[in-house]
Amino acid sequence: MILGAPPLNPPAPLPVAEHVAALPPWVLLAYLAAGVLFILALRGLSSPATSQRGNRYGMIGMGIAVVTTLATQAPIPPGALLPQPTPDDLRILFQILAAIALGAVIGIVTARRIAMTAMPQLVAAFHSLVGLAAVLVGWAAYLNPEAFGIVVPALTTVDGDLVSTRLARINPVSRLEMGLGIAIGAITFSGSVIAFLKLAGKMSGAPILLPLRHVINLGTLLAILGLTAYFMTDQDLWVIATLTALAFLIGFLLIIPIGGADMPVVVSMLNSYSGWAAAAMGFTLHNTAMIVTGALVGSSGAILSYIMCRAMNRSFISVIAGGFGAEAGAITDASKTDRPWKRGSAEDAAFLLKQAENVIVIPGYGMAVAQAQHILREMGDFLKNEGVNVKYAIHPVAGRMPGHMNVLLAEAAVPYDEVFELEDINSEFAQADVAFIIGANDVVNPAAKTDKASPIYGMPVFDVDKAKTVMFIKRSMGGVGYAGVDNDVFYMDQTMMLLGDAKKMVEEIVKALQH
């Protein structure tokens, strides 16, 4: 085709700016409404008291975004009075609807069957799917750029005339968006897979430290950035293939050295990565709703990660670099049990709880594993009826994901005004008659304040050592916290160890309270 002559083929898709401008006004309004609902969802999810409302806002917003996208992108022209779809149109439409139905079935079944203790690994698995989707969309755009409207026709000279060839080139800006989306998505996928395996107990939660890991990680990241920049000038297959492979690799390398104590930050960080990957792919798809949603998820996840790192007295970079908890020395069972400690019974605990005026309950992952939140709330209600002041103390990194303990206590219908964050309640332990620790460990370990050699040194912890009596529910004296360090609270004079399954122990305490 000679430049300036009538086109022989259908016109290429509109550039991004023209594509957005050509959308009907109702589509732009629908995407705006979806974006507002997503913001309201994040606002609602910031508090357990409004979390259900926030979930509803998010579901409505996502429903609007999905329906609007289908209405504008479906192969059958919307608004046509007598549409005459081709067989290919019907096949594509069937594939879209089948994929939606399959995803809905998987989501409903998973939501109904998943245990609350498995929520952290489920969140990590969802993050991996978002990352993989970004990679697949990026590769689809690379292999079929005409369908995504990111083509710049390649021109050549024939007999002095400029001629458009079939060797279309992808817009350099679109290649940058594509490269970033694929890289972030691949890192999210592989990193989330490792996080899932650690959280599910399918691989050790201890840090796996490779020799020269910082040099390897830095070199790999620089190579990814260099290839992304080079991809703007050269769209050969080897460039994007190498970029993808290195991004998958760095995801594994970044998460493997991170210890179990940092898993809540890792989950939050991967959430942020998945958002940025979605935003990058939103530019490729020319979808403003996806750009806005991805940016909201990415920025909120980054802010949450920063807040949690600050709560742990750690820099974000130090957590991502790995090695938190890595220098912890091996602690043998003998070194722990040789120190004197005091064992109590459910009857002993019930007697002291009845005599108390102020009780602070500190839940941890052990409570989640034992599913003890409901019986714990029952114990709290009984004590309140007896005139005891009961409060619940939540550490920012308790459990295996942000807000894990808040979700469990909300599920057990613990009143929101009885649940306090670390900075709001830590000063009250000096007036507490009983600090009741159920399934927590690292977040009450005084080594974080006193032992500079400890891998958790500097992490803010609850001042349970200031309470008059400490009741510590633990399966056995042989185990340590997720960070792999022993806990001096076990051996304090005012500590009574209540060994056994957390749920069964609290049930026995409740029975003793009622007699």
Burial (0-12, 13-18, 19+ Cβ within 10 Å), 233: exposed
**HEC profile of 285-351:** HCCHHHHHHHHHHHHHHHHHHHHHHHHCCCCHHHHHHCCCCCCCCCCCHHHHHCCCCCECCHHHHHH
* Opening angle at CA 395, ends 392 and 401, nearest 5: 115
496/349 Cα distance (integer angstroms): 8
Where does 444-502 show beta strands of DSSP type E?
469-474, 495-499
Phi and psi torsions of 150, nearest 5°: -125, 30
- Any idea what the Cα angle at residue 86 is, between residues 81 and 88, rounded to 5°? 135
**Residue 159 is a catalytic residue:** no
User: Which among 442, 463, 465, 486 is annotated as catalytic?
Assistant: 442
Residue 212 parent element (H or E): none
Residues 6+ apart with CB under 8 A from 350: 509, 512, 513
Q: In whole angstroms, how large is the CA radius of gyration of the chain? A: 28
Pairwise CA distance, residues 106 & 8, whole Å: 45
What residues act catalytically?
442
